Amino acid sequence: MQPLRVGVCGLGTVAQGVLEVLARNADLIERRAGRRIVVTRVASRRARTEVDLRGATFSLDVADIPGHPDVDVVVELIGGDGLAVELISSALECGKPVVTANKAAIARHGDRLRETAQRQGVALNFEAAVAGGIPIIASLTQGLAANRIDWLAGIINGTSNFILTGMSDGGADFASALAEAQRLGYAEADPTFDVEGIDAAHKLAILCALAFDTGFRFDAVYTEGISRITPEDIEYARRLGYRIKHLGIARRTVAGVEARVHPTLVPDTHLVANVNGVMNAVLVHGDATGSTLFYGAGAGGLPTASAVVADLVEIARATRCAAPPPAYPAPLEAPAMLPIEAATSAHYLRIPSLDRPGVFARVATLLSERDISIESALQRAQAIHAESQNAWVPIVIVTQPVAERVIQEAVAAVQALPDVVGEVVRIRVEDLADA
Amino acid sequence: MQPLRVGVCGLGTVAQGVLEVLARNADLIERRAGRRIVVTRVASRRARTEVDLRGATFSLDVADIPGHPDVDVVVELIGGDGLAVELISSALECGKPVVTANKAAIARHGDRLRETAQRQGVALNFEAAVAGGIPIIASLTQGLAANRIDWLAGIINGTSNFILTGMSDGGADFASALAEAQRLGYAEADPTFDVEGIDAAHKLAILCALAFDTGFRFDAVYTEGISRITPEDIEYARRLGYRIKHLGIARRTVAGVEARVHPTLVPDTHLVANVNGVMNAVLVHGDATGSTLFYGAGAGGLPTASAVVADLVEIARATRCAAPPPAYPAPLEAPAMLPIEAATSAHYLRIPSLDRPGVFARVATLLSERDISIESALQRAQAIHAESQNAWVPIVIVTQPVAERVIQEAVAAVQALPDVVGEVVRIRVEDLADA
């Protein structure tokens, strides 16, 4: 099977991420795609000698890429709605599928580009244009294909969400929160596109086209940014039981489709209210599924590259001559499935003990002899519920992570203490953090 | 283009949902699939004369379906790992693609069934087997295809999550929370499969096979249920900053793959800790995307049917003779995009006012004259931040939903009051609830 040969226009963070992901996970991607995916050519108006091109040929002329005979599919990562649109158009006219992360191009010129792609019978994929690493485009067009979508609402601009989170957590005003976002690289020197809602409106126009068949209508999206939100409003909203989030909302009504981007008060118990920092989330309400939420990194080189490469995998599968490989190929060499004894977790221990001096110390000694550290504890925990009638008190401990084998032994030892008057309860603790 | 003719085995809630969704959204599904999807035959060992079969022919012999000449694709919705596995096998041997919601069959016999499907060159799809309406299978195999998955963790049994939520919110013990779940139809009369973690272990075995190439290894999943969790543990965990959730966790390590289902303490600020009731969520950590979370209804007739139909759409697209239709076809008749004046929202109003009697009443009158109801208010809101230096006080009001046009007029009227000494701030409020 011939490899799928990719030409990349642009050499910024996302393009570098695509080169890295395709190299790092080459074998795994080949199995899922049914063929190798190889970047043969990269072009950028600015040379970046520090970037490892992983064997691709570099050119300073991006117009080289669409028609180049070594390129089967074009990845457009220049951005903006000028030259980039010409490149996409020209690749489609050459009969080549295109993958792009360019929300402005699709939101503003999507109807025309789609028409060209359909006429040429090639794919135009843009999973990376909305919500970075979250597969929201595929979910709308495939995973939720059985549904009439009633409405959707999303935090689709990480910069605005980072600024609002900063104002909410630290009481900072808009200007300081923006400055912090700029210092950390989450906001541009000219932040207008992000903080005035234009970027979010581009993305909402794309979601609308897919969810409601409106066509790509950036011009019809009502847009308000976050620059007029004050710490006072955030605090009053909090007292009333709300958080302020910058949302893109689109809704099907009898009269037509509403599409609007604006700061919004959301009940503080809602999952969307708890999406913080630069993270994105899209809530989709379908007539069969009800509410479904998709959450993840909305920007950044690797998450966005993940979406670009997913689009390439789809094209590689669809453009093979033979039947595509199964979506879940049989394992070549299955990894071992480990027994529970091999797992490591922090643990919550509840130890029903006689209420007398030294019990906690004896328990702590047994743990420390096995190198088990205590993360937190409730000594002589205030009796609650049914336990208030008992002559004993519970000792409650959360440990640092420890191997299953070790905690099993430790619990057996604690259980054997004469001070312990009931069964020791052990429940695993997981922080589910990124690392 | 010939329609895709579907034979359905089983006529329970999910099968009825499939009939309903295919009928209700027939045109929309046809556009996305590129051809009509029609249920031609339904078989169930028990007649249900009350169900509208939407024109399909009924039979009491489920073994009729796989080989029937009017059936192009078989949907298996009987469940269990006996007869259902034979039906799936026999359909695949007839060279027909199969869609199933059967987690036990796939978790226990998936390797053999996959081998048959590959040998016959047909699809075996089971999006509905894990987390109902959430497109987690497609996300793992396609949307996140560029990633090496490092770990995943999910609330994948709605019954257990409903019981733990009840214990957590109401302080109920396990037995009463279970009884309530049974009363509401969320738990079976014999709840063993759900509360002892077997159902979750089936689903985790499937996620493991897709994420880590382990093959389908239900036998290797460590399984603990929730029946020994007490209200005391939930309360102590809360004091320590955690919620107790029943999780399926799988992780790639150097030695192999850990897969375990057990009650777990999760930091209470984590999104997963805030997934309540019968809802499901799966958190996936990929090397390129970082953490991504997929949330939605994990069971129920319509959400599960949504997943079954999405699998049918994929098969309809892949088995057309001509090229598949574009993933986002051009609109036949695009709905109108509405102006913001057509939108209806609740609103937060912050009104900087002179601190003198009657101001709130004057504002309330202006609102009530326009039929705008007040949902909540902070009268003479305690001054915060910079406002403490001012001679005025803010009146903060959250209204009931009101048309944009009306609130614009009302704000203009309030702004014109002589008591109002600064710009009235207006921010929209959305509850993002299901309705």
- Alpha-carbon distance A210 to B28, whole Å? 12
Residue A325, in any domain of the structure: no
Residues in B touching A427 (Cβ below 8 Å): 229, 233, 237, 244, 262-265
What are φ and ψ of residue B270, in 5° steps?
Answer: -75, 145
pLDDT digits (tens, 9 = 90+) for B344-381: 999 999 999 988 888 999 999 999 999 999 999 987 66
- Residue B142 and residue B71 in one domain: no
Question: Which residue bears the tokens 């978790």?
Answer: B107
pLDDT score of B1: 78
Give the C-alpha separation, A166 to B365, whole Å: 37
Instruction: Estimate to the nearest angstrom the gap between the alpha carbon of A163 and the chain centroid.
Output: 18
Per-residue model confidence (pLDDT) at position A323: 59
Phi-psi region at B113: left, alpha or beta (left = phi > 0; alpha = psi -120 to 50): alpha
Tokens found for residue A238: 């909090």
Mean pLDDT in residue range B310-315 = 96
Size of interface A-B (CB pairs under 8 A): 444
At B166, the pLDDT band (50, 70, 90 cuts) reads very high
The SS3 of residue B275 is coil
A138/B133 touch (CB, cutoff 8 Å), yes or no:
no
For A380-421, the pLDDT digits (tens) are 666 554 455 567 888 999 999 999 999 999 999 999 999 999
Q: Which of A275, A286, A384 sits opposite B235 (nearest CB)?
A: A384
C-alpha to C-alpha distance for A306 and A127, rounded to whole angstroms: 9
Q: Are residues B297 and A292, on separate chains, in Cβ contact within 8 Å?
A: yes
Contact residues, chain A, for B25 at CB < 8 Å = 146-148, 287-288
Measure Cα distances from B428 to A124, A189, A243, A267 in Å: 36, 29, 12, 12
Q: Is A293 in Cβ contact with B146 (below 8 Å)?
A: no
Rounded to 10 degrees, the C-alpha dihedral A51/A55/A56/A58 comes to 60
Tell me: do B162 and B270 sit in the same domain.
Answer: yes
Residue A338: the pLDDT is 86
User: CA of A421: how far to CAs of A364, A382, A387, A416, B210, in Å?
Assistant: 17, 17, 13, 9, 45
Answer whether B296 sits within 8 Å of A289, measured CB to CB. Answer: yes
Of B297, B328, B358, the domain-final residue: B297
CB-count exposure of residue B163 (10 Å: 0-12, 13-18, 19+) = buried
Give me the CATH number covering residue A206: 3.30.360.10
Residue A288, in any domain of the structure: yes
Q: Does residue A279 contact residue A272 with C-beta atoms inside 8 Å?
A: no
The CA distance from A207 to the nearest CA of chain B, in Å, is 11
- For residue A262, pLDDT over 90 is answered with yes
Partner-chain contact A326 B114, CB within 8 Å:
yes
Share of chain B above pLDDT 70, in %: 95
Residues A46 and A77 in one domain: yes
**3-state SS of A368-405?**
HHCCCCEEEEECCCCCCHHHHHCCEEEEEEEECCEEHH
Listing DSSP states for B277-339 in one string gives TTEEEEEEEETTTEEEEEEEE-SSHHHHHHHHHHHHHHHHHHT-SSPPPPSSPPPSSPPPEEP
**Do residues B91 and B9 share a domain?**
yes
Chain A: give the shortest CA distance to residue B150, in Å: 9
Give the pLDDT confidence of B254-277 residue by residue, as tens digits.
888 999 999 999 999 899 999 999
Residue B211 within a domain: yes
A138 to B141: CB separation less than 8 angstroms, yes or no: no
Question: CA-CA distance, B19 to B53, in Å (whole number)?
Answer: 7
Whether residues A89 and A49 share a domain: the answer is yes
What CA–CA distance (Å, rounded) separates A187 from A245?
A: 17
A148 with A200, same domain: the answer is yes
The CB density around residue A51, as the number of other CB atoms within 10 Å, is 17
Model pLDDT for residues A272-285, shown as the tens digit of each residue: 999 999 999 999 99
Burial of A28 (0-12, 13-18, 19+ CB in 10 A): middle
Residue A431 confidence (pLDDT): 86
State the pTM of this model: 0.90
Please state, in angstroms and rounded to a whole number, the distance separating the CA atoms of residues B99 and B21.
Answer: 16
User: Are residues B394 and B373 part of one domain?
Assistant: yes
The owner of tokens 């006996």 is B82
- Residue A390 in any domain: the answer is yes
Tell whether A394 lies on the interface with B, counting CB pairs under 8 A.
yes
Mean pLDDT of A152-156: 97
Indicate whether A274 belongs to any domain. yes
Domain range for B31: 4-132+303-318
Q: Burial-class residue A72 by CB neighbours within 10 Å (0-12, 13-18, 19+).
A: buried
| Inter-chain touch A235–B265, beta carbons under 8 Å | no
What is the β-pairing status of strands A57-59 and A37-43? parallel
CATH number, domain of B91, equals: 3.40.50.720
Q: Are A73 and A66 in contact (CB under 8 A)?
A: no
Residue B392 pLDDT grade (very low, low, confident, very high; cuts 50, 70, 90): confident
Task: Tell me the C-alpha distance between B133 and B278, whole Å.
Answer: 12
pLDDT-derived band at A328, boundaries 50, 70, 90: confident
Q: Select the residue from B338, B399, B400 to test the A interface by mutation, using most A Cβ atoms within 10 A.
A: B338
Quick: pLDDT tens for B107-148: 999 999 999 999 999 999 999 999 989 999 999 999 999 999
Give contacts of A247 with chain B, Cβ < 8 Å. Answer: 430
B55 touches chain A (CB under 8 A): no
Bridge partners (DSSP) listed for residue B286: B149, B290
For residue B367, the number of C-alpha atoms closer than 13 Å in the C-beta half-sphere is: 22
The continuous run of DSSP H or E covering A4 comes out as strand A4-9
B427 contacts A237? CB cut-off 8 A: yes
Q: Is residue B327 part of a domain?
A: no
Residues B121 and B193 grouped into a single domain: no
Based on the domain organization, do B67 and B146 belong to the same domain?
no
Select the residue of B288, B306, B346 nearest A147 (Cβ to Cβ): B306
Residue B78 lies inside a defined structural domain of this protein: yes
Mutation test of the interface with chain B: which of A226, A293, A341, choosing the one with the most B Cβ atoms within 10 A?
A: A293
What pLDDT sits at residue B384? 55
Mean pLDDT of the region A261-281: 94
Both B119 and B167 in one domain: the answer is no
Residue where a domain terminates, one of A271, A286, A318: A318
A-chain CB neighbours of B342 within 8 Å are 253, 255-256, 258
Residue to mutate among B265, B283, B333, B375, with most A CBs inside 10 A, is: B265
DSSP string, A318-362: HT-SSPPPPSSPPPSSPPPEEPGGG-EEEEEEEEEEES-TTHHHH
pLDDT (tens digit, 9 = 90+) per residue, B1-23? 799 999 999 999 999 999 999 99
Q: What is the mean pLDDT of residues A6-11?
A: 98
| CATH code of the domain in which B387 resides | 3.30.70.260
B82 touches chain A (CB under 8 A): no
* Sign of the alpha-carbon dihedral angle for A202, A203, A205, A206: positive
Amino acid (one-letter) located at A347: H
Query: In total, how many domains does chain A have?
Result: 3
Does A24 reside within a domain? yes
Per-window interface: B 299-358 vs A, CB < 8 A? 302-303, 305-310, 313-314, 318, 323-324, 326-328, 330-332, 334-340, 342-343, 346, 348, 350
Shared domain for B80 and B145, answered yes or no, is no
Picking from A1, A7, A21, the residue whose alpha carbon sits closest to that of residue A97 is A7
Among A267, A297, A327, where does a domain finish?
Answer: A297
pLDDT tens by residue, A55-85 = 999 999 999 999 999 999 999 999 999 999 9
Residue B285 and residue B174 share a domain: yes
CB spacing of A21 vs B146 below 8 angstroms: yes
